[in-house]
Copies of this chain bind each other. A is one copy, B any other.
């Protein structure tokens, strides 16, 4: 599958915290960057997310803001 989202960043699952409906997934990107994602618990389970699994963070460009100091 090829997706229109402009940002597809390869990483590894570092941590998963499950709530009743949503899960918080922390990814580690190469270079030590971390990215945090909130997805449904059902998706986290369907994708078999667990520490160490290789995954991609996928982010639509219109959801990226820019800040300056």
Interface residues of A (CB under 8 A from B): 1-9, 17-25, 27, 29-31, 33, 35-40, 42-44, 46-49, 53-69
A25 CB to nearest B CB, Å: 6
Chain B contacts for A61, CB-based, 8 A: 24, 36-38, 40
Stoichiometry (number of copies):
6
CB closest chain-B residue, reference A11: B66
- Bound-state CA distance A54–B68 (Å) is 7
Task: Tell me which of B4, B25, B30 contacts A47 (CB under 8 A).
Answer: B4
Chain B contacts for A18, CB-based, 8 A: 20-21
A61 CB to nearest B CB, Å: 4
Q: Is the CB of A65 within 8 A of B5?
A: yes
